[in-house]
Structure 1
Amino acid sequence: MPTTCLTGRHDKHDVYAEQCPCRGVLDLLANKWTALAIGALEDGPQRFGALQRRLEGVSPKVLTQTLRRLEEAGFVDRTVYPAVPLHVEYALTELGAGVAEPLRGLRSWVERHLDELLG
């Protein structure tokens, strides 16, 4: 990890530093489909089709990409069950459950303030 990412103040990472890997995580979490997918998974493990129905308007391609990125980052677990047809479930990891709370707060804030924002 580049040392330019550390602020020097208690060895904390600095999301404002250009080369800090924090930015990649922030980019992933600030994505609307990420925030919605994590929110949908707060209710428990779900299959791809159920997630796609819950996240109205998401294409299968974008949902697949979002779930892959979340899995690679450690926010989501993908479990494949041997069945015909193939049965795949997605669930939040402990890390994913931890980030679900602040994302829930953001989604709630947007819903509460939408009328003000639309003026």
Structure 2
Amino acid sequence: MTKNKALRTEENDINLGGCPMTSVMNVIGGKWKVIILFHLRDNTLRFGELKKRIPKITQKMLTQQLRELEADGLVSREVYAEVPPRVEYTSTSLSDELRPILDMLCEWGQRQQRQKN
């Protein structure tokens, strides 16, 4: 277990007595993770590209969320030995399993936006 994963587990994990949603929320809960996963599906993106697509997230928070997603096996990080260094993020097959759920959430969000307008 990485140091970041250990810190996150101790401080932020939800414990609801074995509820299956506990596992889900511990991995993809929070404001930004689902949004990051949405942008990475079918895409390999550099940090700066992700930051442009999610302008309201801070650099610190994006870094933290990407590290947690990587520790949980949902995002892979590839570092290229170049100057300046190039780092790319890609969704993993584990996060691809979330695709139908992300699609349904997106469709639900679009319906909610239409109802409000």
- For Structure 1 versus Structure 2, the TM-score category normalised by the shorter chain is 0.7 to 0.9
Residue 69 of structure 2 is aligned to residue 70 of structure 1: yes
Pairwise CA distance, 1:24: 4.5
Q: State the alpha-carbon separation in 2 of the partners of residues 60 and 35 from structure 1.
A: 17
Equivalent pairs: percent with the same residue? 35
What is the number of residues matched between the two proteins?
104
Q: Which runs of 5+ in 1 are unaligned?
A: 1-14
CA separation of 1:108/1:22 partners in 2, compared to 1, >3 Å: closer, same or farther? closer
Spell out structure 1 runs of 4+ moving beyond 4 A.
19-22
Is 2:67 the counterpart of 1:93?
A: no
Q: How does 1:30-109 map to 2 (within 5 A)?
A: 30-109=29-108
Q: Find out whether 1:111 has 2:102 as its counterpart.
A: no
In 1, Cα distance between equivalents of 2:95 and 2:52? 21
Distance in structure 1 (CA, Å) of the matches to 2:67 and 2:77: 9
Instruction: Tell me if the contact between 1:47 and 1:90 (Cα under 8 Å) persists in the aligned partners.
Output: yes
* Structure 2 gaps, min length 5: 1-13
Q: Could you tell me how far apart the structure 2 residues matched to 1:44 and 1:72 are?
A: 19
In our comparison, the structure showing a higher alpha carbon Rg is 1
How far did 1:25 drift? 3.5
Q: Shift of residue 110 of structure 1?
A: 1.1
TM-score, normalised with respect to structure 1 = 0.75
What corresponds to 2:7 in structure 1? none
> Matched residue of 1:77: which SS?
strand
Tell me how far 1:20 sits from its aligned partner.
6.0
* 1:99 Cα deviation from its structure 2 partner: 1.1
**Partners of 1:101 and 1:56 in 2: CA distance:** 25
Higher relative contact order (CA 8 A, sep 6+): 2
